Structure 1
Amino acid sequence: MTLPLDDSLLDDRLLAAIEATAVELAQLGGTEIRAALGGMLRVKYKGLEDDPTHLKDPVSEVDGRVETLIRERLSERFPDHDIVGEEFDQRPALGHDFIWAVDPIDGTANFINGFPLFASSVGVLYRGCPIVGALWCSTSHALEPGVYHATARPDAGAGSDGVKFNGAPLNHSPNPAVRRRLGGEPRASAKPVFGWDGRKTGSAAIECAFVAAGLLDMAWFERPNIWDVAGGMALVRASGRQALERNDEGWQAFDGFAGEEAEPGGWSAPVAIGSAAALEEFSRNW
């Protein structure tokens, strides 16, 4: 992933402040989620007014509450930054250097059913490039909830700062005795197609974090929204793994969420993340 950008507005103190705030906001989401888990939540489904059979996009009362809290804190900490989130229709205006992309609960269907795979995702873009990610995940490599987080400067290349979990550097080395790794897929498949065993978690953010942590060798998403993967893409960059985006010319290196004329909040495209070898096989056979 090569994203050459002018980073004249960035310095180490600013990036540290942004990452610290992103971690705080992701943890806030996790705290609200854990407090509500198991309760009698109010749940509605997007698009149900137009189609009474549409039950694919649930939203709980917690989703809206968490995003409201995040927006309030960001307006205090970084009033000149813009924000795009899943639960509000407001979209960033063109011309903002910094945009926060927030998914208060990624994996809401899992959450409302008590299936323990969901996340609260916070990503920060600098001129379309994912530079900071903080993902509170309901479980982790350590078998406990926590925040995967990282800063990936646009000028430093992949793997610039590494991924941390709850503030500690994450050092995960795959076991060489394991000859078939795992890959996150949007649909469960009874018949393995690629050189890994497919897994469907129901949360793009969880899968991004697990790819960055080395738990999944790769993952791909059919058409995520920007808030689903913005934080995760920053983790992928910081981990040294790669990302592809599919366009009319096939699978190409991911080059940011928007060009100079595009609206970042409107981005949606097929993407794949993972090790170079896994992505080469995937792009060749998909």
Structure 2
Amino acid sequence: MTATAPDDALLAEIENVAVELAQLGGAEIRAALGGMMVVKYKGVEEDPTHFKDPVSQVDGRVEALIRARLAEKFPDHDIVGEEMDHRPGLGHDYIWAVDPIDGTANFINGFPLFASSVGVLYRGRPIVGAVWCSTSHVLEPGVYHAAVGHSVRFNGAALETRSNPSIRRRLGGEPRASRQSTLGWDGRKTGSAAIECAFVAAGLLEMAWFERPNIWDVAGGMALCLAAGHDAAEWRDEAWMPFADFAQPGADAGDWSAPLAFGKRESVASFIATERP
């Protein structure tokens, strides 16, 4: 049976649960930080020298907790996460895209930039996002969250962003630390796509772009950026196209991956006019 489009009451309920799940992830991360955790590396069985995709025991535990809680609250919704093999197709009306720890390499090394991200899609389009960040615009951990059609909030409070007109060069999220943009901002690489998404929504970054993120890396942050009124573009068919949704006919939700750029309208327009992945 096809679900109806979410009204404001359902959006509010979904947002509340998304915030709860992001906070759950943040609590588990903080409790484990600094401990002697077990760390494994994806792909090391095929290549013993492959140490590029770490996963801690906390990643799996957080995703399992989130899945269990979501099954209680919205049993008819599906979920795609980084750590478990279940990959629903985008034919489901509601899909939750979850990254229990985004920035795991930072986390296991104690480098304090990481996040726990929850994004909710309705027929492939982001409608709710909640991203717990290890730090924020107020130098405190907390959750940036929003539902489509409503403003971005931080820990439940309205988020007010103002640009200082005396700052002539802003900051932009770049996938390579050595690369410097020629479009009027200084590049920054945090090691966490979810944090960069949240920082764009919060006005700390002018824009950000990613060479090939996974859906769980950016679904929550994309919902935040759309709620903030930003533009987004996706690279497909050898061109930048306006982002519409994550839908891929005949493909699993977990299979989506494409170059993605989003941020302030004028910055995104300048970027896609000159840059190629």
- Band of TM-score, shorter chain: over 0.9
2:173 to 184, 193, 209: 184
Q: Tell me, yes or no, if structure 1 residue 36 matches structure 2 residue 32.
A: yes
- Opposite residue 68 of structure 1, the aligned amino acid is A
Q: How far 1:191 moved relative to its partner? A: 4.3
Aligned to 1:51: 47
In structure 2, the residue corresponding to 1:135 is in which secondary structure? strand
- Opposite residue 165 of structure 2, the aligned amino acid is P
Structure 1 segments unaligned to the other structure (5+ residues): 1-5, 153-159
Q: Tell me, yes or no, if structure 1 residue 145 matches structure 2 residue 141.
A: yes
Q: Tell me, yes or no, if structure 1 residue 264 matches structure 2 residue 253.
A: yes
2:151 to 152, 162, 175: 162
Q: How far 1:194 moved relative to its partner? A: 2.5
2:213 to 220, 224, 231: 224
Gap change, CA 1:44 and 1:163, over 3 Å in 2: same
Aligned to 1:243: 232
Q: How far 1:7 moved relative to its partner? A: 8.4
8 Å CA contact 2:180–2:186 kept in 1: the answer is no
Moved more, 248-257 or 140-149: 248-257
The one-character-per-residue Cα deviations of 1:190-220 (angstroms, maximum 9, x if unpaired) are 6443310000000000000000000000000
Gap change, CA 1:180 and 1:64, over 3 Å in 2: same
Q: Tell me, yes or no, if structure 1 residue 22 matches structure 2 residue 18.
A: yes
The one-character-per-residue Cα deviations of 1:137-196 (angstroms, maximum 9, x if unpaired) are 0000010000000001xxxxxxx2110000001011111111101000111126443310
- Opposite residue 232 of structure 1, the aligned amino acid is G
Structure 2 segments unaligned to the other structure (5+ residues): none
- Opposite residue 30 of structure 2, the aligned amino acid is R
| TM-score relative to the length of structure 1 | 0.93
Moved more, 181-190 or 71-80: 181-190
Of all paired residues, the percent bearing the same amino acid is: 72
Gap change, CA 1:190 and 1:274, over 3 Å in 2: closer
Aligned to 1:211: 200
CA distance in 2, matches of 1:279, 1:95: 30
CA distance in 2, matches of 1:139, 1:219: 18
8 Å CA contact 2:3–2:93 kept in 1: the answer is no
CA distance in 2, matches of 1:192, 1:284: 13
| TM-score relative to the length of structure 2 | 0.96
Gap change, CA 1:246 and 1:96, over 3 Å in 2: same
Gap change, CA 1:31 and 1:47, over 3 Å in 2: same
- Opposite residue 166 of structure 1, the aligned amino acid is N
Aligned to 1:122: 118
In structure 2, the residue corresponding to 1:16 is in which secondary structure? helix
The one-character-per-residue Cα deviations of 1:230-284 (angstroms, maximum 9, x if unpaired) are 0000000100011110012411100100144433221000000111111111111
Q: How does 1:93-104 map to 2 (within 5 A)?
A: 93=89, 95-104=91-100
CA distance in 2, matches of 1:213, 1:138: 14
Q: How far 1:40 moved relative to its partner? A: 0.6
